[in-house]
Structure 1
Amino acid sequence: INAGKEFVTMLEGGSFFHHGDSFAMMRGGHLDIAVLGAFQVAANGDLANWHTGAPDAIPAVGGAMDLAVGAKKVFITTDHVTKQGEPKIVAELTYPVTGKHCVDHIYTDLCVIDVTKAGLKVIEKVEGLSFDELQALTGATLIDATQG
């Protein structure tokens, strides 16, 4: 049964295992890629995705920390800004840390960013959005790598 309470069947070649084994895979460094959401991503690749620090929010880290530090690469998928228009890509985290220096790539609704030692390199952006407009929506300095 899935999260929507629907019956499911496994496709040929599929597999499943106990959740304890999944944590052993994460903690043992056996995952090539983890795709996670984010509340914030810092310019140095720090990730905050489990708690905003709001007093009325219930913190729930789940397996996010294990994934963030256990996977060989971490890809983030997120909106570029919050519902209030605040940047989610920031110079430094203001929310509690999930993982330090763990993010490799960020995929937002506006662009694709590689997190590098040199900084946040924009490798792709939506058509019609200028680099300056993208920078204005971002809380950290971006490097334009979209030009030849």
Structure 2
Amino acid sequence: NVWAMMEHLTKGGESKIVERCTYPLTGIGVVKRIYTDLAVIDVTPRGLVTSRSVAGLSFDELQRLSGVPLLPSGARAAA
């Protein structure tokens, strides 16, 4: 398993989680989990599933801050 650890937002407030990478890639489709300072997000065939978020941060707020559509944690079971 490959995990990515990063801040969720740039210094300018933009999401670092994007639909399409603009930088050269060393491995495509290998990341299975993303750890950020705001949430833990699993990469699944159905999409990005929020497994945990920091206390006090709602799913809707996390979605607003993210650059891609997220699924709530219960979505993994339906995959």
Shorter-normalised TM-score: what interval?
Answer: 0.7 to 0.9
- What stretches of structure 1 of length at least 5 have no aligned partner? 1-72
Which of 97, 112, 120 in structure 1 is aligned with 2:40? 112
CA deviations on 1:125-145 (whole Å, 9 max, x unpaired) are 011111111011111110011
- In structure 1, distance between residues paired with 2:40 and 2:46: 16
Q: What is the CA-CA distance between 1:99 and the residue it aligns to?
A: 1.5
- In structure 2, distance between residues paired with 1:127 and 1:74: 25
- What stretches of structure 2 of length at least 5 have no aligned partner? none
Partner of 2:11: 83
Which of 57, 79, 100 in structure 1 is aligned with 2:28? 100
Q: What is the CA-CA distance between 1:146 and the residue it aligns to?
A: 6.0
| CA 85–99 in structure 1, closer or farther in 2 if over 3 Å, else same | same
Where relative contact order (Cα < 8 A, 6+ residues apart) is larger, the structure is 2
SS state of the match for residue 31, structure 2?
coil
Structure 2 length normalisation: TM-score? 0.87
Partner of 1:138: 66
Alignment RMSD: 1.5
CA deviations on 1:84-142 (whole Å, 9 max, x unpaired) are 11111111112222320010101100000110001000010011111111011111110
Structure 1 length normalisation: TM-score? 0.48
